[in-house]
Amino acid sequence: MKLLHIEWLKLRKYKTFWLLVSLFGGIFLLWNYAVNNSFLKLGSGPVNLLSSSYSFPAVWTNMGYIYSWFVLFLAVFVIISVSNEYTFRTNRQHIIDGMRRIDFLHSKALLVLSMAIGATLFYALTAFIFGLCNGGGNPLENLETIVYVFLYTLNYLSFAAFLSFFIKRSGLSIMLLLAYLLFETIIVNVVNHYFGTFVGNLMPLQSTDELLPLPVWKSIAAMTSTVTHDTPIYLSIVFGIGYITLYYFLLRNKMLKTDL
């Protein structure tokens, strides 16, 4: 709690934090409101590929997929938060003031975990309200999507922190994150296409992307005769947790063996 309190003291008056969090939450809400009310469409006539259904139980998976687009705002903030510690030497000041080196890593890990929990609760509340307003079936069906959203968020934010601990510059880290997203997308598609397998889907970020697919993708694939390579859910979960654990232990080793 002491480490979290220290992080909160840094954040409570930090305008960049509130701006990025507001963009994440505000655009997510506006996007779903626009799609739900057919203000925003992809398709002709009554067809809207952006929307499956905002009633229960489909609302969980539908909004989970849309949510995955906006986590990048939070990932950018995590990069800025870690990089600023190196830019302004506050990490060294913490050590001088008595904080252990490993506690500096743990403070950022707790920040990432707290943001992942907060963002997941925001998604769950928003999806529940949209589902309640639109009626439908059983709200408990597809409820496991909340767990998938949490794992997805934690993986992305952990990867962002992992990058920024090594690069130590916010601008370069953000560029590398975007470049990696593009690189991984290409590799995933090349591996899956040429080897006819889902193995490409087990790469670091793609492993949890598989937990929040486009709801109408299977219908589109069937209509266009597109070959899909579905990844077993348990593998996506295991690999997602594995990568998050790997980020932590690599950073732990770095903090204990190298200079700040």
User: How many Å separate Cα 122 from the centre of its chain?
Assistant: 13
A 10 A CB-CB count for 103 gives 17
The 3-state secondary structure of 19-56 reads HHHHHHHHHHHHHHHHHHCCCCCCCCCCCCCCCCCCCE
The C-alpha atoms of residue 218 and residue 225 are separated, in whole angstroms, by 10
Do residues 103 and 95 touch, judged by C-beta distance below 8 A?
no
Do residues 206 and 121 touch, judged by C-beta distance below 8 A?
no
What is the tens place of the pLDDT at every residue in 180-236?
999 999 999 999 988 888 999 999 999 999 999 987 665 554 455 455 668 899 999
Nearest-10 crossing angle of helices 15-36, 58-87: 160
pTM of the shown model:
0.92
What is the tens place of the pLDDT at every residue in 6-29?
999 999 999 999 999 999 999 999
The C-alpha atoms of residue 168 and residue 82 are separated, in whole angstroms, by 7
Do residues 96 and 28 touch, judged by C-beta distance below 8 A?
no
